[in-house]
Amino acid sequence: MLLTATILLAAAGLPQGQLVPKQRVVADYAACLVRNSERSSLRLMETLPGSAEEARVARDVSVGGFPCLKGRRGLSLQTGAVRGAIAEALFARDPAMLAVVRRVSAASPARPPMNIDGRAFVIAYADCLVASDPARSADLVSTEIGSATERSAFLGYGEALKRCMPERASYRANVTDIRNHVAAALYRVARSRTEAKNA
């Protein structure tokens, strides 16, 4: 699903013509959404990743989030990227939620099936990584976007990077894409644990 909103790959305060990483601009956009369109942002986070409902709510978010474009244009927003960035913005607003997932015990999740590809594969892969090492996942989404620390945190998954890969599958890791889906998966874990505690 591709959101219809567009923003420019530039940031105020940077020398003219100097670009910033796309995901940083997406993160700024998502933080604005959480501040100004909290209800629609939370509705998106409550949907099942990859579902028709997610696509429908994402369209609503893109319409309601127009003021967060701040007059910028030129960047197409993938739903997975925005969803992950919203998750990170929610964690930044409420660090206690991230602390919750740091206390979740690691598991040995089933390897994703071979007959999935595209975003469905990345969703399953991220879910597996989060279950394998929740604390490492929290570390990953706490790093600076595009930094050496981010890459180090990702590689810190170690053998889980292979265990979570379908048999005989090959995948050139897109750390940014995986990070986005890890953040979204972490948020689902944090929300479920918080709701269970408050029930």
Does position 78 have pLDDT exceeding 80, yes or no? yes
Does position 165 have pLDDT exceeding 70, yes or no? yes
Quote the mean pLDDT of the chain. 83
Greater confidence (73 vs 149) lies with 149
**Distance separating alpha carbons of residues 95 and 190, to the nearest angstrom:** 11
Is the separation of the CB atoms in 160 and 128 below 8 Å?
Answer: yes
- Cα torsion 110, 114, 117, 121 to 10°: value is 10
Q: Quick one: pLDDT band at residue 80, thresholds 50, 70, 90? A: very high
pLDDT in tens, 88-101: 999 999 999 999 99
pLDDT at 8: 29
pLDDT in tens, 116-156: 878 898 999 999 999 999 999 999 999 999 899 999 999 99
Residue range 100-106: mean pLDDT, rounded = 91
**Distance separating alpha carbons of residues 55 and 152, to the nearest angstrom:** 32
